């Protein structure tokens, strides 16, 4: 099971998700900035937010452009986890985008990093079986560029 989903707390996420869609400012941003994009899989919709455009361009240049879209890496594979993570991201990003206060150079939160790590293992289970036998190892320590050419 992807590591990421185990770390997210259910009640907190439900609240966050609800807020993200319904609450005043967040809701406006969500609708105006084509927040419904969170529900689909088209990477271009992530880039509706211009702050995502750098990552979008870097994704287009990356080795995974042909294999994986944003959600393949940034949301857990399990169906419930996927929409919860989207809700959480949606809330977080709408709030951040509207109110500001986020850094100019965005950095992944620890939780989203774990989601990504889980997704690597999800797709590459066969290949990394032997190496992960011993337990914790971070994929993006060595493969930082697979999703976004850096």
Residues that bind other proteins (CB under 8 A): 28-29, 32-33, 50-51, 97-98, 103-105, 107, 126-131, 133-137, 141-145, 149-150
Task: For the CB of residue 120, give the shortest distance to ligand HEC in the complex, in Å.
Answer: 3
Distance CA 85, CA 62 (A): 23
Count of helices and strands (H, E) across the chain: 8, 0
Pick one of 5, 91, 93, 114: the residue that binds ligand HEC (CB under 6 A): 93
3-state helix, strand, coil split of the chain in percent (to 5) is 65, 0, 35
In contact, 146 and 64? CB cutoff 8 Å: yes
Both structure tokens of 91: 């809330």
At 65 the three-state DSSP class reads: helix
**Contact partner, 15, from other proteins, ligand HEC, none, Cβ < 5-8 Å per class:** none
Distance CA 76, CA 83 (A): 9
67: CB partners within 8 A, 6+ apart = 123
**Contact partner, 118, from ligand HEC, other proteins, none, Cβ < 5-8 Å per class:** none
Using rule CB under 6 A, residue 96 touches ligand HEC: yes
Task: For the CB of residue 135, give the shortest distance to other proteins in the complex, in Å.
Answer: 6
**Where along the sequence are the contacts to ligand HEC (CB under 6 A)?**
29, 33, 35, 37-38, 43, 46, 48-49, 51-52, 55-56, 59, 63-64, 67-74, 89, 92-94, 96-97, 102-103, 106-109, 112-113, 116, 119-121, 123-124, 127-128, 130-132, 134, 137-143, 146-148
């Amino acid at each position: 099971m992807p590591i990421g989903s185990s770390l997210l707390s259910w009640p907190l996420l439900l609240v966050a998700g609800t807020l993200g869609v319904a609450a005043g400012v967040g809701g406006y941003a969500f609708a105006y900035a084509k927040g419904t994009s969170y529900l689909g899989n088209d990477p271009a919709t992530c880039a509706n937010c211009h702050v995502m455009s750098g990552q979008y361009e870097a994704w287009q240049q990356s080795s995974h452009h042909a294999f994986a879209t944003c959600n393949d890496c940034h949301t857990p594979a399990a169906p419930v986890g996927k929409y919860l993570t989207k809700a959480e991201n949606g809330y977080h990003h709408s709030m951040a985008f509207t109110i500001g206060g986020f850094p100019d150079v965005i950095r992944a939160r620890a939780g989203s990093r774990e989601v990504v790590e889980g997704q690597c293992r999800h797709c590459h289970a066969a290949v990394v079986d032997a190496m992960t036998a011993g337990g914790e190892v971070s994929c993006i320590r060595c493969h930082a560029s697979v999703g976004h050419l850096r």
